[in-house]
Amino acid sequence: MTGDPVGGPPPPGQSAGLPGSHPAPPPEPSGPYPCPGGPESPGAGAGSFAAGPPPAPTGAAPFPPGPLEPWPDTVRWQPVSPNLIWVELLRLAAVLGVLLLGLAVGWALSGHWLFGGALGAVVLAGAWRVVTIVRAVHAWGYAERENDLLVRHGLLVRRLSIVPYSRMQFVDVSAGPLERAFDLATVQLHTAAAASDARVPGLPPAEASRLRDRLTALGEDRAEGL
C-alpha cells in the first residue's frame, strides 16, 4: 500500500494541514484601488476633480434700504418717552368709559340685544386699541441730520417725514393736561406747506426746549443762506 510521502506536496484542492481543508484565500493587496476617472486612475485627465458642495458665496451685497428706512448707517433714531403710552391709554379709557356707560344704560332700559352686542364689540375694540397704542408709541422716532429733520411714525400705515431746516417757519412746544401730568411735551414744526407740518410728541420738557431752540437756529441760518 502506497501513500503520499510525509512532507510531500498536498494534492490539489487541499492545504497543508488537516485533510479536506480548503486553501487559504490569497492576501488582499494593501493600498488604495484606482477608481475609473479618479485621481489614481491613469485615464484621469488634468481637468478631472472630485464632486463636492459648491463654495459658499462671499462678499454678497446687502439689501438696499426701503423707502421708509433711508440711510440706515448714518441716521440715529431717537425714541420718544414711554410715558406717552400712559397718556394715550388714559385718553382711550375716557372715550371707552363714555361709550360703555351709554350702551349699558340703553341696554338696561330697553333690554334689546343690540345694546349687548354693541357693548361686547366696544370691549373687543378697546382691547385691540390698547395693543396698537403700545406698538404705535414705540414706532415714533426722530433723527437730526445736517440739513433736515426726519420724523417717522405709524403702525399699520408707516409714514416718514423729511423736513428741511430751510423750510421751517417757526417751531412751538405744547403740552396738554395729561402730558403735563406725565412731564411730557410735543414739538410742532410749521413749514410753508401746511401738509408737510410734522410733530414729535412724548418728549421731556428739557429735550423739547433743546430741540425747539436748535431747529429754530438752524432754520434761521438756512434761510439766510438762500
Per-residue pLDDT of the chain (226 residues; tens, 9 = 90+): 444 444 455 455 454 444 444 555 555 555 444 444 444 444 444 444 444 555 544 444 444 556 666 555 578 899 999 999 999 999 999 999 999 999 899 888 888 888 889 999 999 999 999 999 999 999 999 999 888 899 999 888 888 888 888 888 889 999 999 999 999 999 998 887 766 668 999 999 999 999 999 998 888 887 665 5
Q: DSSP string of 22-60? A: PPPPPPPPPSPPPPTTSTTSTT--TT-----PPPPP-SP
- Give dist(CA 173, CA 204) in Å, integer: 11
Question: Distances in Å between the alpha carbon of 150 and those of 76, 77, 116, 141?
Answer: 10, 9, 46, 8
Phi and psi, residue 5, nearest 5° = -65, 150
Q: At what angle do helices 84-110 and 113-139 cross, to 10 degrees?
A: 180
